Amino acid sequence: MNSRMISQSTERFDIPEQIAAAESKLVYLFLSVSDGATVDELQASLDIQQITLLPVLDTLSERGLVERVDGQYVAA
């Protein structure tokens, strides 16, 4: 995992109840504790293939949980 992307925090992050799939939870949690990430950074950090990652990002975006800002995905 790219340590420069992860903020040093001891906060607890709750995952919204509407996120059921493990990959979605992982992506959401990663984006919640990072400064944002590109698809390539998410793939490398989480070891999730793009064919799996893109639908996860689409679903999270549709639900208003993540958004794309300047080419990076960030938690909303």
CATH number of the CATH domain containing 68: 1.10.10.10
Structural tokens at position 5: 């992307």
Convert the pLDDT of each residue in 30-46 to its tens digit.
999 998 999 999 999 99
- Residues whose CB is less than 8 angstroms from the CB of residue 43 and which lie 6 or more positions away in sequence, other chains included: 49, 50, 53
Note whether 66 and 73 are within 8 A (CB): yes
| Cβ atoms within 10 Å of 30's Cβ, excluding its own | 20
Structural domain span for residue 59: 22-75
- Three-state secondary-structure class, residue 43: helix
The pTM of the full predicted model, rounded to 2 decimals, is 0.81
- Give the number of domains in the chain: 1
- Would you state the pLDDT for residue 32? 92
Convert the pLDDT of each residue in 17-32 to its tens digit.
889 999 999 999 999 9
Q: Are strands 66-69 and 72-75 parallel, antiparallel or unpaired?
A: antiparallel
Convert the pLDDT of each residue in 46-64 to its tens digit.
999 999 999 999 999 999 9
**Residue 3 falls within a domain, yes or no?**
no
